[in-house]
Amino acid sequence: DAGITQSPRYKITETGRQVTLMCHQTWSHSYMFWYRQDLGHGLRLIYYSAAADITDKGEVPDGYVVSRSKTENFPLTLESATRSQTSVYFCASSEKGYSTDTQYFGPGTRLTVL
Amino acid sequence: QKEVEQDPGPLSVPEGAIVSLNCTYSNSAFQYFMWYRQYSRKGPELLMYTYSSGNKEDGRFTAQVDKSSKYISLFIRDSQPSDSATYLCAMRRRGADGLTFGKGTHLIIQP
């Protein structure tokens, strides 16, 4: 089914472990985004990508690494997870990144760091 | 002061009522304004998008932007229990790639 998918949907890990969250879209959208959603903060941009091999930092990039070797995939890696990274992570995509483009969100990954 | 302020609620109203949801912002560079709806344990979905001051209507939903006051609103007419969700306002600067979100307002429509 076409759209934007995230995996896993739920993940529990321990402090210090590496975790990778996957995002896949079937629309061939140029732009992809990672946001985190926390109570009291709303959604905040972590990283985004304008195209394959082009990435840039958002508002809260520390502790995260991204890559984009293929247009359809945009994985987010927590190299050494911390409790403060417990959150719900949303991936989004938009067609071209124009100011009027809609960002379409995936279903989210709920991450707990113990 | 956060760039975008939104009352988290919860806001509880009876079915059929008119609902008013609001956000204020401090950065006049925001030029594009959106309302997203988010059901529990789901991703946000776009409801309304506007980039000029004034009103935009889509079915039971009306988005209103007042750039001079840095204030945006979403009105829901004839509210239904299925409208119960969290409503997120979002804004974008011209040329910027990401969105800046409010915290979201949790809306409950009582049958």
Q: How far apart are CA B15 and CA B111, in angstroms?
A: 5
Tokens, residue B9 = 């609620």
- In this complex, the residue of A31, A104, A106 whose CB is nearest that of residue B97 is A31
Window 53-92 of A, Cβ < 8 Å to B: 56, 58-59, 90, 92
Torsion sign across C-alpha atoms B94, B98, B102, B105:
positive
At A37-66, the pLDDT tens digits run 998 888 999 999 999 999 999 999 999 999
At B85-102, the pLDDT tens digits run 999 999 998 877 789 999
- In this complex, the residue of B43, B49, B103 whose CB is nearest that of residue A102 is B49
pLDDT band at B17 (very low <50, low <70, confident <90, very high): very high
Q: What local confidence, expressed as pLDDT, does residue B94 receive?
A: 80
At A83-107, the pLDDT tens digits run 999 999 999 999 987 777 889 999 9
Is A100's Cβ below 8 Å from some Cβ in B?
Answer: yes
Three-class DSSP category at B20? strand
